[in-house]
Structure 1
């Protein structure tokens, strides 16, 4: 019974901690490291919330040798424990320069090329935690090659740490302010709109 009470108390503290310290974000920018069987990459990641549970993420990553790729992803976020702890999934496109490995069945040799211009489709899924002004996430991002690489499929595990630049509350406040201003303009008489547009002085 004591262990059960301790577990409930610990869970309650964690829940309060998430609610008090953590914050959702509107705009976040930071670093991302990626790892797969071919290379380890380091790069930058930026996320912009466009709707309540929908964000756009841009990633530019490189191993500073044979692989440099840019990714643009559309992601859907779903809260788990709280609104600050999410799972997310999505898809997007990629463009870059990558190495490729071609297997020759007759000679049992592998031809290694690099500098190949590639285009592909990305799928992504992960978990993220927004704590104070930092967003930390762990993701798995498979890439399906369309042009430029022999391997059709490459998976990548990534860890990101982003700084919150704009909080979701601030973003929502600006949207509401713009919406109110638009409604106000729509209610104005046509003559008043023309005066404001052409800077006519009222006499």
Structure 2
């Protein structure tokens, strides 16, 4: 009985979120990352560039020996509604990182830091947008190309972003710009030239 009640409650709230679905255009906030070597705190910013497609920038650091910047192109797809979606993406990263290498002969771990690194990043996650806040959990693998001994590192991240521009507002601005552009294209060239001289006179 409790399971049925829980299921009905979830369906009810999901239907409400479908009716009120609203995505964001711009969102900025904090991201907390964790991997097997260290934890990071950072800034994250997402900008919707077209339907379902977002760019994200992440600047994160452990404030000791690891600081990285990552730029990602992400595809968002709704699960229940536009408020609850999954996303995946790819990008690149630059940073300064420490590295740990196991020496099999001596059974020691060699530790270095101050390494300038560059790599390819992937990301996959879930995101929920409620009350002008986007909360997400993701997994972000990093494939190292330069500067670090470990070829692969995975990071789990939790982000909370404040919605600065809603998608409806962004779409309105885009439509206004498009209308203005269409109007300027419809005006004949000789009329545009005449209007310039009339303004000067």
Deviation of the 1:5 alpha carbon: 6.8
1:201 is the counterpart of 2:171:
no
For each residue in 1:108-162, what CA deviation from the matched residue of structure 2 results, as whole angstroms up to 9, or x when unmatched? 2221110100000000000000112000000000000000000000000000000
1:87 is the counterpart of 2:86:
yes
- Residues in 2 aligned to 1:97 and 1:145: alpha-carbon distance in whole angstroms: 12
Deviates more, 1:54-63 or 1:9-18: 9-18
State the partner residue of 1:163: 162
State the partner residue of 2:101: 102
Number of positions where the alignment pairs a residue of Structure 1 with one of Structure 2: 200
Deviation of the 1:10 alpha carbon: 1.5
CA separation of 1:3 and 1:63: change in aligned 2, threshold 3 A? closer
Deviation of the 1:104 alpha carbon: 2.7
- Residues in 1 aligned to 2:6 and 2:110: alpha-carbon distance in whole angstroms: 57
State the partner residue of 2:62: 63
Could you list the runs of 5+ residues in structure 2 that have no partner in the other structure?
none
Q: Tell me the TM-score normalized by structure 1.
A: 0.91
- Residues in 2 aligned to 1:37 and 1:7: alpha-carbon distance in whole angstroms: 36
Query: In structure 1, the residue corresponding to 2:85 is in which secondary structure?
Result: strand
Could you list the runs of 5+ residues in structure 1 that have no partner in the other structure?
none
Query: In structure 1, the residue corresponding to 2:70 is in which secondary structure?
Result: strand
CA separation of 1:12 and 1:182: change in aligned 2, threshold 3 A? same
Deviates more, 1:62-71 or 1:12-21: 12-21
Query: In structure 2, the residue corresponding to 1:98 is in which secondary structure?
Result: strand
Q: Tell me the TM-score normalized by structure 2.
A: 0.92
- Residues in 2 aligned to 1:192 and 1:110: alpha-carbon distance in whole angstroms: 76
For each residue in 1:85-119, what CA deviation from the matched residue of structure 2 results, as whole angstroms up to 9, or x when unmatched? 00000000000000012333332222111010000
Query: In structure 1, the residue corresponding to 2:171 is in which secondary structure?
Result: helix
- 1:23 touches 1:131 (CA, 8 Å); kept in 2? no
CA separation of 1:22 and 1:31: change in aligned 2, threshold 3 A? farther
Q: Could you say which structure has the higher strand fraction?
A: 2
- 1:23 touches 1:132 (CA, 8 Å); kept in 2? no
